[in-house]
Amino acid sequence: MESEHLEILAMIVEKGGLTEGAEALHKSQPSVSRTISLLEQRVGAALFEPGRRPLRPTELGASLARLGSRIHALNTEARQLVERYRKGQAGRLRIGGTPIFMDGVMAAMIAEFQNHHQDVHFEQSYGYLETLVTQLRNGTLDLAILPLHPSQIPQDMEFISLLTGRNVIACRSGHPLTRKGMITLADIEPFPWIAPPADSPLYRDLQRALVSIGVEDFRVNFSGGTFASIASVLAGSDSLTVLPYSVVFQTRKMTQLEALPLKIEHPNRQLGLLVPKEQAAAPALAHFKTFIAAQCSNLEARIQHEQQVTRRRG
């Protein structure tokens, strides 16, 4: 017994006649007539009362029609799912990236994206360049978010630059150092440092940044945590750390952080979005890419604007 036939039966019963049913199914009347004949033959019993003009189903016919109707509903659901998937309104995006930036900037943007695309399901994970590229290649990840130097972009990948990778020294708002105009090496010296995970690019950034401003020896009193723990420790102490400015800017209200007005060496990298150069990417991915690009462009503009204001004031 074919599901298709049950659906046809259901439509005929619903519409109350072969002719109307055939019309609703965009088929000819003889076609559905024969389908019913075939079905009756296979079932071995009449599905419609014989010799009745307003074609009325038998009990068995009505029961089968109910099942057919439920099958049809599921089929419709499948069609709608495909439709939404095609439009990028449904599906699954597996996104991986460097922990601090994912937590500090992307999470909020993903939330905003889901306000417009409710049925897109995100699977977020963390990682650095090598693992991310591997995962992108073997298809366990749909896109990666990470800081990258142009020379590091793999041949088989597309990199969309989102934000300049500028780092800053971050501290709690109200930190003693924020009250000073010019900050010297000696001013910084007393405060302990929070370090990101030792295998992260940000950790190397921290080292190089401190070297660049002359700090040779620094005391680390917290390391290895995620952004949430770093932010908490930072907000509850006078510790310092190095963070992407975008992260500080985006989360400063919630985390009570601010950036010290101290130029530190920043690596020549761009925070951006890495995806395989595939043709068969999930439709939702395209939407997400343009959405994130727009959000980050907006964020960059707000950062620029604030810097101009600060410069004028200072």
Partner DNA sequence: GGCGTTATATTACTTTGCGTTATGAAAATG
Partner DNA sequence: CATTTTCATAACGCAAAGTAATATAACGCC
- Other Cβ atoms less than 10 A from the Cβ of 70: the count is 13
Is 312 a binder of DNA (CB under 7 A)? no
Q: By C-beta, is 60 or 215 nearer to a second copy?
A: 60
Is 75 a binder of DNA (CB under 7 A)? no
Minimum distance from CB of 290 to a second copy (Å)? 19
Q: Which residues contact 307 (CB under 8 A, 6 or more apart)?
A: none
Residue of the chain from 34, 121, 149, 302 that contacts DNA (CB under 7 A)? 34
Structure-derived torsion over alpha carbons of residues 174, 177, 180, 181, reported in degrees to the nearest 10: -110
Inter-residue contact 166 to 266 (CB < 8 Å)? yes
Q: By C-beta, is 23 or 40 nearer to a second copy?
A: 40
Q: Residue 312 and residue 314: Cα distance in Å, rounded?
A: 6
Is 60 a binder of a second copy (CB under 8 A)? yes
Minimum distance from CB of 74 to DNA (Å)? 18
Report the site for a second copy in 250-279 (rule: CB under 8 A): none
Q: Give every strand in the sheet of 257-259, ordered side by side.
A: 241-244, 167-172, 257-259
The residue behind tokens 């509903």 is 73
Q: Which does 181 bind (CB under 5 to 8 A by kind): DNA, a second copy, none?
A: none
Identify any residues that bridge with 274 across adjacent strands, giving them in sequence order: 144, 159
Residue 235 has φ and ψ, to the nearest 5°, of -70, -25
The residues binding DNA (CB under 7 A) are 2, 4-5, 17-20, 26-38, 48, 51-55
The residues binding a second copy (CB under 8 A) are 1-4, 6-7, 43-46, 49-50, 52, 59-60, 63-64, 67-68, 70-72, 74-75, 77-79, 81-82, 85-86, 91-92, 121, 139, 280, 282-283
